[in-house]
């Protein structure tokens, strides 16, 4: 699974943020993890690109990924659109609410980061999308309402992303960008255990 998408990722793939200098909401880290540049990790981040997820007609959609970090809390969210260009009104927003722990163990500027999703929600913003979701029983629900946030944690549409399950990944912080790790193409380092920690550079996010 990709931290940047959950992060999607979380992140995605998934999985980060505008600098929050001077804030008292700092990430608490244990003594053996001192040395991490915590303030540089705080704030609002965006992937800065449009992901076209394909489909046709009313099923065509795309999205932009964002991450907000405050203290040891992380929220990765995806704004979705009813086209392939991320233009026009948003059709929905999916949010991954997470906690994370970052280690000062560093290799080639990459830090280990462990992320746990605490909730996954989605909100639809127009009636056509609500009708589509209800007709297809999206995420197993047929009662989608406009502007109502629905908890879809551990539902049948979130295969591979479960709450209270740790994703073992890595992150690189360089000035105004951060890069998240993702599973390798052979899915050996899939992030499910410390020994299988992500080892492949993945999504890049820029400060907003």
7: Cβ–Cβ under 8 A, 6 or more apart, which residues? Answer: 13, 14, 15, 65, 67, 74, 76, 96, 98, 115, 180, 203
Torsion angle of alpha carbons 198, 201, 203, 207, nearest 10°?
A: 110
Give 156's pLDDT tier (boundaries 50, 70, 90): confident
CA distances from residue 28 to 35, 59, 99, 152 in whole angstroms, order as listed: 12, 43, 12, 29
CB 3 within 8 A of CB 93: no
Give 115's pLDDT tier (boundaries 50, 70, 90): very high
Handedness of CA 204, 116, 188, 199 (dihedral sign): positive
Mark 104-114 as b/e (b = at least 16 C-beta within 10 Å): eeeeeebbbbb
Segment 145-154, tens digit of pLDDT: 999 999 999 8
DSSP per-residue string spanning 30-41: -GGGTT--GGGG
Task: Please tell me the predicted confidence (pLDDT) of residue 185.
Answer: 87
Give 173's pLDDT tier (boundaries 50, 70, 90): confident
Lowest-confidence region among 4-8, 77-81, 159-163, 201-205? 4-8
The predicted model gives 156-185 an average pLDDT of 86
Rounded CA separation 175/206 (Å)? 9
Give 31's pLDDT tier (boundaries 50, 70, 90): very low
pTM for the predicted model, two decimal places: 0.75
* Percent of the chain residues past pLDDT 70, beyond the cut: 78
Higher pLDDT, 35 or 179: 179
Predicted confidence (pLDDT) at residue 80 exceeds the cutoff of 70: yes
Query: 170: part of which helix (H) or strand (E)?
Result: strand 166-174
Higher pLDDT, 57 or 114: 114
168: Cβ–Cβ under 8 A, 6 or more apart, which residues? Answer: 112, 114, 191, 192, 193, 194, 196, 197, 198
Name the range with the highest mean pLDDT among 110-114, 123-127, 163-167.
123-127
The predicted model gives 31-40 an average pLDDT of 51
Task: Please tell me the predicted confidence (pLDDT) of residue 38.
Answer: 61
């Amino acid at each position: 699974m990709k931290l940047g998408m959950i992060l999607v990722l979380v992140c995605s793939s998934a999985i980060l943020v505008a600098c929050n200098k001077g804030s008292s909401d700092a990430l608490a880290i244990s003594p053996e993890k001192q040395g991490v540049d915590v303030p540089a990790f705080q704030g609002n981040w965006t992937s800065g690109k449009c992901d076209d997820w394909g489909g046709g007609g009313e099923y065509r959609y795309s999205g932009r990924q964002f991450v907000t970090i405050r203290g040891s809390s992380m929220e990765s969210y995806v704004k979705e659109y009813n086209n392939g260009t991320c233009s026009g009104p948003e059709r929905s927003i999916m949010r991954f609410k997470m906690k994370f722990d970052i280690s000062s163990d560093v290799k080639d500027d990459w830090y280990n980061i462990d992320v746990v999703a605490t909730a996954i929600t989605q909100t639809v913003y127009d009636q056509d999308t609500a009708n589509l979701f209800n007709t297809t029983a999206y995420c197993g629900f047929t009662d989608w309402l406009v502007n109502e946030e629905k908890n879809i944690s551990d539902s049948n549409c979130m295969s591979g992303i479960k709450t209270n399950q740790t994703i073992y990944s890595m992150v690189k912080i360089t000035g105004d960008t951060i890069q998240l790790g993702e599973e390798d193409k052979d899915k050996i380092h899939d992030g499910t255990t410390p020994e299988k920690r992500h080892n492949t550079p993945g999504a890049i996010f820029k400060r907003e």
